[in-house]
């Protein structure tokens, strides 16, 4: 007995250092000082404070007020009204905290509970670690009720399934399946095995390995479904993906990308890539953004970037030679091996096209820019051919018109002679019968006509 007043050390090896109304009744128990402290089990220790009780073997209370270490090796470092009732439990401080199972730990805070073996609460207010190896780092009114579950902080968060995690935020739930995760945000739910919500608000990852990265009011309810963010997107089928605003991927493997338009945009068939981009679409294939294709807003066809400034190594084209090659290029109808049904197409083979024109990057594909270029060159070649034929036709038409005019003149003269024959039956002044004279003239006319038509 070191001093003080009304202190009791009832065991021979018990010690009370001082203070008032302190009691050390266990073998080798120690009370350093303070008031109304009680070390009642063997080898218990109370450093000081007021109204503290160490009733478990090797129990320790550093100080504070009305703290209790009621089981073996329990420890309360200080604070107010804390209770360590499990073996090897520890409370660092704070107020009204309870560590009620073996190896439970509460670092501090107020009204926190570590209720199962190896559970822990780092601090905060009214937090609860309710299952084996469950942890609440801090915050307010958080609950880790699944085995190995963790709530790092925030408020009103719940990790209720095995190995579930809530990083923080408010009113988030990680439940219904092992290893579910909510990173943060508000009112998010991850409820399938391996399901994840990164953050945002009102998001749900509701099936095994479904993921919502963030955003607002997004739902990934299919197995392995993904919504990276945005607003009001739904990936409801297995392996589906929806992003943007009001994208709905409700077919297996569908990938739906929607712009900011406030209207739902649905997938149509499984394994489909569907995009709504009312401002147009562009794909570029180099770092300078000078090559690629564009689908202009409101258009139904792709436009290849064809700016002169994006091109080099220009060479002239013999359009007549291209036309000749086109006329010799085998063109057939055919089906793709992978295309369902009886869908047929028409066109050349890439190998024949490459052999004929030497265009493109390989001999297994034909780009539209090359096919269009060949078609335009062939049209130009056909135009020059048509022009030549037109010139020949014009010349023939001119010659024919001249012949027709000459023929008309001769016929007129012939008709005049025939009239004279009809009206005169006397011999000519030269003694030659008129009929013979007319016959000779007719013969000459016929001869002229024959020669001019050759």
If one compares 236 and 5, the residue with the highest pLDDT of the two is 236
Between CA 260 and CA 215 the distance in angstroms is 13
pLDDT in tens, 127-186: 999 999 999 999 999 999 999 999 999 999 999 999 999 999 999 999 999 999 999 999
Model pLDDT, residue 438: 56
pLDDT band (50, 70, 90) for residue 418 = confident
64-84 mean pLDDT? 98
Candidate from 78-82, 197-201, 229-233, 417-421 with smallest mean pLDDT: 417-421
Between CA 447 and CA 389 the distance in angstroms is 32
Q: Give long-range contacts, CB 8 A cutoff, 24+ apart: 10-17.
A: 14/39
pLDDT band (50, 70, 90) for residue 427 = low
363-389 mean pLDDT? 95
Model pLDDT, residue 365: 96
Between CA 195 and CA 128 the distance in angstroms is 23
Model pLDDT, residue 124: 98
Between CA 16 and CA 286 the distance in angstroms is 83
Q: Which is nearest to 179 in space by CA: 166, 170, 188?
A: 166
36-46 mean pLDDT? 97
Above 80 in pLDDT, residue 453?
A: no
Name the pairing type of β-strands 211-212 and 68-69.
unpaired
Name the pairing type of β-strands 211-212 and 196-197.
parallel
pLDDT in tens, 324-357: 999 999 999 999 999 888 999 999 999 999 999 9
For residue 140, the cross-strand partners are 125, 155
Instruction: Give yes or no for a contact between 168 and 154, defined as CB atoms under 8 angstroms apart.
Output: yes
Above 50 in pLDDT, residue 298?
A: yes
* Share of residues in the chain with pLDDT > 70 (%): 93
Candidate from 41-45, 277-281, 447-451 with smallest mean pLDDT: 447-451
Between CA 47 and CA 91 the distance in angstroms is 15
Please state whether 292 falls in left (phi above 0), alpha (psi between -120 and 50) or beta. left
If one compares 252 and 427, the residue with the highest pLDDT of the two is 252
If one compares 438 and 388, the residue with the highest pLDDT of the two is 388
Between CA 209 and CA 178 the distance in angstroms is 10
Above 50 in pLDDT, residue 429?
A: no
Between CA 257 and CA 276 the distance in angstroms is 6
Instruction: Give yes or no for a contact between 133 and 148, defined as CB atoms under 8 angstroms apart.
Output: yes
Q: Which residues does 232 contact at the CB level (< 8 Å), separation at least 6? A: 216, 217, 218, 245, 246
364 CA to centre of own chain: 30
Above 50 in pLDDT, residue 374?
A: yes
Burial class of 364 by CB neighbour count within 10 A (0 to 12, 13 to 18, 19+): exposed
Q: Give long-range contacts, CB 8 A cutoff, 24+ apart: 320-327.
A: 320/381, 320/384, 320/385, 321/381, 322/357, 322/374, 322/377, 322/378, 322/381, 323/377, 323/378, 323/381, 323/382, 323/385, 324/381, 325/356, 325/357, 326/374, 326/378
377-391 mean pLDDT? 95
pLDDT in tens, 106-131: 999 999 999 999 999 999 999 999 99
Model pLDDT, residue 442: 60
Between CA 75 and CA 91 the distance in angstroms is 6
Q: Where are the domains of the chain?
A: 301-382, 385-452
pLDDT band (50, 70, 90) for residue 18 = very high
Above 90 in pLDDT, residue 446?
A: no
Between CA 321 and CA 382 the distance in angstroms is 10
Q: Which residues of 41-78 are buried (b: 16+ CB within 10 A; e: fewer)?
A: bbbbbbbbbbbbbbbbbbbbbbbbbbbbbbbbbbbbbb
């Amino acid at each position: 007995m070191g001093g003080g007043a009304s202190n009791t050390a009832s065991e021979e090896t018990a010690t009370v250092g001082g203070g008032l109304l302190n009691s050390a009744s266990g073998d080798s128990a120690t009370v350093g000082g303070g008031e109304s402290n009680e070390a009642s089990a063997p080898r218990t220790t109370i450093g000081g404070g007021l109204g503290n009780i160490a009733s478990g073997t090797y129990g320790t209370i550093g100080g504070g007020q009305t703290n209790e270490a009621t089981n073996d090796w329990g420890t309360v470092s200080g604070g107010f009204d804390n209770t360590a009732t499990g073996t090897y439990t520890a409370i660092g401080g704070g107020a009204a905290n309870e560590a009620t199972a073996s190896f439970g730990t509460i670092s501090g805070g107020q009204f926190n509970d570590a209720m199962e073996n190896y559970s822990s609460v780092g601090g905060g207010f009214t937090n609860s670690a309710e299952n084996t190896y469950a942890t609440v780092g801090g915050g307010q009114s958080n609950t880790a009720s699944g085995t190995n579950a963790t709530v790092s902080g925030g408020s009103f968060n719940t990790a209720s399934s095995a190995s579930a995690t809530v990083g923080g935020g408010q009113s988030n739930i990680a439940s219904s399946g092992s290893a579910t995760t909510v990173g943060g945000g508000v009112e998010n739910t991850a409820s399938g095995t391996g399901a994840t919500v990164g953050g945002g608000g009102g998001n749900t990852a509701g099936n095994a390995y479904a993921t919502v990265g963030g955003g607002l009011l997004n739902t990934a309810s299919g197995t392995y479904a993904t919504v990276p963010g945005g607003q009001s997107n739904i990936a409801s089928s297995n392996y589906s993906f929806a992003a943007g605003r009001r994208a709905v991927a409700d077919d297996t493997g569908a990938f739906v990308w929607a712009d900011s338009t406030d209207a739902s945009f649905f997938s149509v068939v499984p394994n489909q890539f569907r995009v709504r981009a009312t401002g147009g679409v562009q794909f570029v294939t180099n770092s300078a953004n000078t090559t690629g294709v564009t689908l202009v807003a409101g258009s139904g066809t792709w436009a290849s970037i064809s700016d002169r400034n994006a091109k080099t190594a220009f060479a002239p084209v013999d359009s007549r030679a291209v036309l000749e090659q086109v006329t010799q290029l085998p063109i057939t109808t055919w089906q793709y091996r992978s295309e369902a049904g009886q869908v047929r197409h028409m066109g050349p083979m890439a190998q024949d096209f490459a052999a004929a024109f030497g265009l493109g990057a390989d001999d297994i594909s034909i780009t539209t820019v090359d096919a269009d270029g060949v078609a335009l060159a062939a049209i130009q070649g056909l135009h020059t051919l048509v022009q030549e034929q037109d010139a020949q036709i014009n010349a023939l038409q001119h010659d024919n018109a001249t012949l027709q005019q000459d023929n008309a003149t001769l016929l007129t003269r012939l008709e005049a002679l025939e009239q004279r024959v009809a009206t005169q039956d006397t011999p000519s002044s030269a003694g030659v019968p008129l009929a013979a004279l007319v016959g000779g003239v007719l013969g000459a006319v016929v001869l002229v006509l024959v020669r001019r038509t050759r």
